């Protein structure tokens, strides 16, 4: 009997040892396989990373060249109607062909920050209009608008005195993870706006970096350069008018308010007028990434099959730098680097959706 028990005990020990060894071997094999995959992916990524950084440097050079005097005899680019195009307006997020070419499969997009709403220069009245539009325009609750405006005012003023229905240090310190308000009109980051009472809900779902900037001194938005995200916040513009603006600027520059009036009806132009200008800036967001665009044949097949594809470029995140370029003989100043920057909406004008014929 004892011998049988001893035999059973040994058998159990052998079985447990086998199970343990199997688990260890499986774990080691998985670790080796993961290490091998990691090494392979790193090996594949290194050349692309070098190409991305080269494209960023070439984009910076493009911006420096833009500030260089044009050589005598160089022909200026013209629209289909023979009008001279403003070279600086090509920095509106369209894929660029650089003077110093990037690798063939690299996409480079540059966004002039004159196409964004400047949070550090926005007048109080314009902030109120922006809040009203986000809350439903004419259907917005006036009390809610004033509460949010008061919170914005208290955040950007220079003191701890709480305005009527505003929010100051006492409110923010009472939160689960308390913090102090800015108490300064100069925000340090675009994302800081989410710390203001009620603004995280107000701008939920908005690509903040695409719509806003904190750099430069521009108070208006240039429609030749504006991102969709910025235009969607501007009073007087709806999605259809935005697509009309993008379609128009793909053909020729918007040079003055009269040309804006050709696109935007008068009653909406009145709301929009105080927001727009023809300025450019010295600050840019540069995006560079390997192309993953759908092949033309695949794209055509999907369209023929009835698929709704308004943007043939599926990339939504890429390496990004925000730089300031002041002259052609000084290197750009880098303000921000984000290896996983969120691209603005890069789709060309959605002509089919709104039956745009120009």
Residue 191 maps to a domain: no
For residue 287, give its domain range. Answer: 1-118+196-358
- Considering the domain architecture, whether residues 106 and 127 belong to the same structural domain is answered as no
**pLDDT computed for residue 89 by the predictor:** 96
Q: Give the span between the Cα atoms of 23 and 29, in whole angstroms.
A: 10
Q: Which of residues 161, 185, 209 is at a domain's end?
A: 185
Q: Give the span between the Cα atoms of 266 and 259, in whole angstroms.
A: 12
pLDDT tens digits, 121-160: 999 999 999 999 999 998 999 999 999 999 999 999 999 9
- Considering the domain architecture, whether residues 65 and 201 belong to the same structural domain is answered as yes
Cα torsion 79, 113, 147, 202 to 10°: value is 80
Backbone phi and psi for residue 77, each to the nearest 5 degrees, phi listed first? -70, 140
Strand partners, 251: none
Predicted confidence (pLDDT) at residue 175 exceeds the cutoff of 80 = yes
- Considering the domain architecture, whether residues 201 and 290 belong to the same structural domain is answered as yes
Q: Which of residues 185, 206, 231 is at a domain's end?
A: 185
- Considering the domain architecture, whether residues 64 and 161 belong to the same structural domain is answered as no
Strands 117-118 and 212-213: parallel
Confidence of residue 79 (pLDDT cuts 50, 70, 90): confident
DSSP codes of every residue in 167-196: --HHHHHTSTT------SS--S-GGGGGGS
Residue 55 maps to a domain: yes
**pLDDT computed for residue 151 by the predictor:** 97
Residue 268 maps to a domain: yes
Torsion sign, CA atoms 294, 295, 296, 302: negative
Q: Give the span between the Cα atoms of 284 and 280, in whole angstroms.
A: 10
- pTM here? 0.85
- Considering the domain architecture, whether residues 61 and 74 belong to the same structural domain is answered as yes
Number of domains the chain is built from? 2
- Considering the domain architecture, whether residues 219 and 354 belong to the same structural domain is answered as yes
pLDDT tens digits, 282-301: 999 999 999 986 555 555 55
- Considering the domain architecture, whether residues 297 and 263 belong to the same structural domain is answered as yes
pLDDT tens digits, 263-276: 999 989 999 999 99
**pLDDT computed for residue 306 by the predictor:** 58
- Considering the domain architecture, whether residues 222 and 83 belong to the same structural domain is answered as yes
Predicted confidence (pLDDT) at residue 2 exceeds the cutoff of 70 = no
Cα torsion 213, 124, 207, 264 to 10°: value is -100
Per this entry, what is the length of the chain? 358
Q: Which of 223, 233, 325, 228 is nearest to 278 (CA)?
A: 223
Which residues have CB under 8 Å from 38's CB, separation 6+? Answer: none
- Considering the domain architecture, whether residues 255 and 331 belong to the same structural domain is answered as yes
For the stretch 71-79, contacts whose Cβ atoms lie closer than 8 Å and that sit 24 or more positions apart, written own/partner, are 79/251, 79/252, 79/253
- Considering the domain architecture, whether residues 54 and 93 belong to the same structural domain is answered as yes
Backbone phi and psi for residue 265, each to the nearest 5 degrees, phi listed first? -55, 155
- Considering the domain architecture, whether residues 155 and 112 belong to the same structural domain is answered as no
Cα–Cα distances in Å, from 325 out to 60, 67, 322, 331, 348? 8, 9, 10, 7, 27
- Considering the domain architecture, whether residues 84 and 233 belong to the same structural domain is answered as yes
Q: Give the span between the Cα atoms of 105 and 295, in whole angstroms.
A: 12
Cα–Cα distances in Å, from 165 out to 26, 142, 154, 159, 273? 62, 13, 10, 16, 30
**pLDDT computed for residue 22 by the predictor:** 83
Average pLDDT, the chain: 89
Which residues have CB under 8 Å from 177's CB, separation 6+? Answer: none
**pLDDT computed for residue 154 by the predictor:** 96
Predicted confidence (pLDDT) at residue 307 exceeds the cutoff of 60 = no
Residue 190 maps to a domain: no
Residue 60 maps to a domain: yes
User: Tokens representing 151?
Assistant: 């919170």
Residue 20 maps to a domain: yes
């Amino acid at each position: 009997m004892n011998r049988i028990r001893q035999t059973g005990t040994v058998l159990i020990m052998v079985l447990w040892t086998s199970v343990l060894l199997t688990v260890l071997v499986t774990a080691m094999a998985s670790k080796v396989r993961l290490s091998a995959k990691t090494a392979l992916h790193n090996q594949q990524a290194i050349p692309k990373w070098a190409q991305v950084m080269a494209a960023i440097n070439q984009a910076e050079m493009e911006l420096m060249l833009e500030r260089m005097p044009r050589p005598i005899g160089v022909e200026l680019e013209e629209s289909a109607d023979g009008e001279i195009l403003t070279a600086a307006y090509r920095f509106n997020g369209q894929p660029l062909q650089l003077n110093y070419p990037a690798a063939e499969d690299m996409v480079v997009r540059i966004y002039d920050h004159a196409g964004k709403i400047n949070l550090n220069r926005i007048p109080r009245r314009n902030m109120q209009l922006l809040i009203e539009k986000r809350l439903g325009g004419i259907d917005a609750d006036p009390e809610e608008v004033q509460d949010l405006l008061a919170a914005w005012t208290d955040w950007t003023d220079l003191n701890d005195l709480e305005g009527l229905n505003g929010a100051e240090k006492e409110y923010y310190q009472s939160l689960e993870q308390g913090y102090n308000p800015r108490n300064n009109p100069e925000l340090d980051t675009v994302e800081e706006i989410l710390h203001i009472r009620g603004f995280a809900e107000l701008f939920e779902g908005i690509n903040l970096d695409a719509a806003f900037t904190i750099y430069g001194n521009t108070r208006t938005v240039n429609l030749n350069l504006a991102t969709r995200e910025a235009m969607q916040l501007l009073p007087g513009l709806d999605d259809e008018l935005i697509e009309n603006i993008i379609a128009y600027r793909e053909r020729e520059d918007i040079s003055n308010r009269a040309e804006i009036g050709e696109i935007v009806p008068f009653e909406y132009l009145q709301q929009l007028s105080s927001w727009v200008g023809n300025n450019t800036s010295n600050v840019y967001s540069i995006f560079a990434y390997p192309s993953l665009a759908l092949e033309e044949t695949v794209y055509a097949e999907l369209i023929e099959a009835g698929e709704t594809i308004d943007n043939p470029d599926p990339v939504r995140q890429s390496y990004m730098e925000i730089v300031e370029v002041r002259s052609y003989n000084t290197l750009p100043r880098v303000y921000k680097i984000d290896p996983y920057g969120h691209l603005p909406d890069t789709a060309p004008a959605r002509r089919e959706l709104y039956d745009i014929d120009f």
